[in-house]
């Protein structure tokens, strides 16, 4: 059974890489993101370089592909080995860029992923001023899910000083990252 799992995941990765069909790519990436939910698959997904596949897909033009890629990363970064890999692969920046998505699911996964990726070493990057400003705006979102998640981020991952600094800065600057559409 275990061998079958690796072969199946390998077939999915291969299909993602060779298919020209956008729909097939979306379907395969959705499947891989779902498999990323199960810790039994972490080793296989690392072996098949699915973390890189997800990271590379974050810069695609397709909102749907980005949504599944950030969802997959969000699932994978609960594991310390995966988290370390994402941090070493400079994965924080592409995750931060997902905060500007108009897709609420993508934004929710990006915020959650930033929470999971926050370590004493990465905190400076995951809670950089533009991120904190963004979370302040999200905390005012009409979407309860997003406003609650952003509030948790501000309260649990940022210092009061960071939040204050971001508040003062947003008073003097135009709003940058737009809120996702409902």
Q: pLDDT tens for residues 65-124? A: 999 999 999 999 999 999 999 999 999 999 999 999 999 999 999 999 999 999 999 999
> What's the confidence (pLDDT) of residue 2?
52
> What's the confidence (pLDDT) of residue 1?
45
> What's the confidence (pLDDT) of residue 23?
96
The full set of domain ranges for the chain reads: 2-122
> What's the confidence (pLDDT) of residue 37?
93
Q: Is 17 a residue whose pLDDT tops 70?
A: yes
CATH, range 2-122 = 1.25.10.10
> What's the confidence (pLDDT) of residue 169?
84
Instruction: Tally the C-alpha atoms within 13 A of residue 57's C-alpha that lie toward its C-beta.
Output: 30
Among residues 125, 129, 115, the alpha carbon closest in space to that of 157 is found at: 115
Angle ∠(147,148,153) on CA atoms, nearest 5: 95
The predicted model gives 40-52 an average pLDDT of: 97
> What's the confidence (pLDDT) of residue 176?
55
Percent of the chain exceeding pLDDT 70 equals: 92
User: Rounded to whole angstroms, how far apart are CA atoms 36 and 49?
Assistant: 12
Q: Is 175 a residue whose pLDDT tops 60?
A: no
User: Rounded to whole angstroms, how far apart are CA atoms 171 and 152?
Assistant: 22
What's the whole-number average pLDDT of the chain?
A: 93
Q: Is 114 exposed, middle or buried (0-12, 13-18, 19+ CB in 10 A)?
A: buried
Q: What pTM does this model have?
A: 0.90
Contact (Cβ atoms closer than 8 angstroms) between residue 104 and residue 142: no
Q: Is 177 a residue whose pLDDT tops 50?
A: yes
> What's the confidence (pLDDT) of residue 171?
72
The predicted model gives 124-153 an average pLDDT of: 96
């Amino acid at each position: 059974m275990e061998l079958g799992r690796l072969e199946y995941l390998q077939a999915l990765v291969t299909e993602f890489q060779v298919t020209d069909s956008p729909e097939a790519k979306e379907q395969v990436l959705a499947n891989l993101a779902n498999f990323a939910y199960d810790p039994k698959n972490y080793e296989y997904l690392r072996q098949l370089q699915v973390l890189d596949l997800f990271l590379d897909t974050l810069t695609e033009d397709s909102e749907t592909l980005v949504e599944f890629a950030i969802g997959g990363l969000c699932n994978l970064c609960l594991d310390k080995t995966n988290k370390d890999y994402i941090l070493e692969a400079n994965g924080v920046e592409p995750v931060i860029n997902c905060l500007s998505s108009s897709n609420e699911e993508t934004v929710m996964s990006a915020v959650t992923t930033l929470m999971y990726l926050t370590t004493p070493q990465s905190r400076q990057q995951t809670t950089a001023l533009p991120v904190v400003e963004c979370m302040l705006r999200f905390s005012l979102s009409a979407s309860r899910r997003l406003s609650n998640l952003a509030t948790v981020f501000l309260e649990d991952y940022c210092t009061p000083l960071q939040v204050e600094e971001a508040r003062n800065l947003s008073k003097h600057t135009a709003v940058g990252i737009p809120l996702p559409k409902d």
